[in-house]
Amino acid sequence: MSRRDEILRIEDLYVHFYTYAGVVKAIDGVNMSVLRGETYGLVGETGCGKSVTMRAVLRLIPPPGRIVKGRVIFNGVNLLELPEEEMRKIRGAKIAYIVQDPTAALDPLYTSGFQVAETILAHEENVGKKSVWERVVSLFKSVLIPDAERRVKQYPHEFSGGMRQRVVIACAISEKPELLIADEPTTSVDVTVQAQILEVLEDLKKTQEMTMILVTHNLGLVAQICDRVGVMYAGSIVEVSDVFRLFEEPLHPYTRGLLNAIPHVTRTQFRLEPIPGTIPDLINPPPGCRFHPRCKHATGICKREKPKLREIEPGRFVACHLYRGD
């Protein structure tokens, strides 16, 4: 992989939250690379740091959180060193973020069309009212909201959950971002609406030539639309692979555990195998490999030394002492 193909590279990222109970070491040395044009799935259990990592890309870590260390290179520029004014031009324009909960993302006091128009006006000067409104209607059409001319004048409470999420997507794509981060975009909708939203995202990605990072804990979604996958555990990426090899032959014991814990139509197993234990306390995380208290392969070195993410075959990276090769 050439670095010219990368749209985003995260290097050695650490994010801590300074709470009264202690320092929560939420992100612990994340390294990640996203290629231009691909759909990258970022997966892991709730609380593993997926959303925090993505918020760090946009420098939207709320207090008491802080990015302690690392680099976030977008199109060759380290976003963590940009002045806030420059960063504002990137947020929402070059990198857009679709949040989990569309109800919280939309203001109930303004029409949905007004909120999309506001996003456009925040990034563009000297645009006429009429042309903005025409663009809003066309954005509503592109995310398949029927009767767009009428719907732009309606308030968020007049939309179903799925339709609200489409309004949020319309806001996100209004400036034709190069990178779209979709953070659990289908969590709050039912399965049929989930399929429709994924279809909208896939269509947009193709027609607008965007790169997409899909943050999810749903491996079914990943199998459906992602090209490559990064698996996160307790603040670090533990495995990266193309989607086919990850499902065919997962390498990291945590990835294997995740896949064994979901039902499979072609397998004749009667019981699913849960991963024993729970995710660690990130104020006092276990030393060495953070997965070691739950791992049946753990040895002495796992308790002492954090394994590095290494490329063990072309395009396959794993952070586990089982694959040290020395």
- Site for ligand SF4 contains 205 (CB under 6 A): no
- Site for ligand SF4 contains 292 (CB under 6 A): yes
Q: Where does this chain touch ligand SF4 (CB under 6 A) — which range of 31-39, 106-114, 189-197, 294-302? A: 294-302
Own/partner pairs, 56-61, CB within 8 angstroms, 24+ separation: 56/10, 56/13, 56/15, 56/27, 57/8, 57/10, 57/95, 57/181, 58/87, 58/90, 58/91, 58/95, 58/97, 58/181, 59/87, 59/91, 60/91, 60/97, 61/15
- Site for ligand SF4 contains 295 (CB under 6 A): yes
Beta strand pairing call for 179-183 and 211-216? parallel
Q: Longest Cα pair distance anywhere in the chain, in angstroms? A: 68
- Site for ligand SF4 contains 234 (CB under 6 A): no
Structure token pair of residue 248: 């065919």
Binding ligand SF4 by CB under 6 A: which of 297, 304, 308, 310?
297
| Closer residue to ligand SF4 (CB): 162 or 253 | 253
Q: Where does this chain touch ligand SF4 (CB under 6 A) — which range of 48-56, 91-99, 118-126, 288-296? A: 288-296
Quote the least distance from Cβ 227 to ligand SF4, whole Å: 25
| Closer residue to ligand SF4 (CB): 163 or 289 | 289
Q: Where does this chain touch ligand SF4 (CB under 6 A) — which range of 25-33, 78-86, 216-224, 297-305? A: 297-305
- Site for ligand SF4 contains 29 (CB under 6 A): no
Touching ligand SF4, residues 302-321 (CB under 6 A) = 302, 307, 320-321
Number of residues that bind ligand SF4 (CB under 6 A): 12
Nearest-10 Cα torsion for 114, 115, 120, 121: 70
| Closer residue to ligand SF4 (CB): 91 or 321 | 321
The answer to whether the Cα torsion of 51, 56, 61, 64 is positive or negative is: positive
Contact between 321 and 253 under an 8 Å Cβ cutoff? The reply is no
Cα–Cα distance list, 135 to 21, 118, 142, 163 (Å): 48, 12, 10, 18
- Site for ligand SF4 contains 48 (CB under 6 A): no
Name the residues that contact ligand SF4, by CB under 6 A: 253, 289, 291-292, 295, 297-298, 302, 307, 320-322
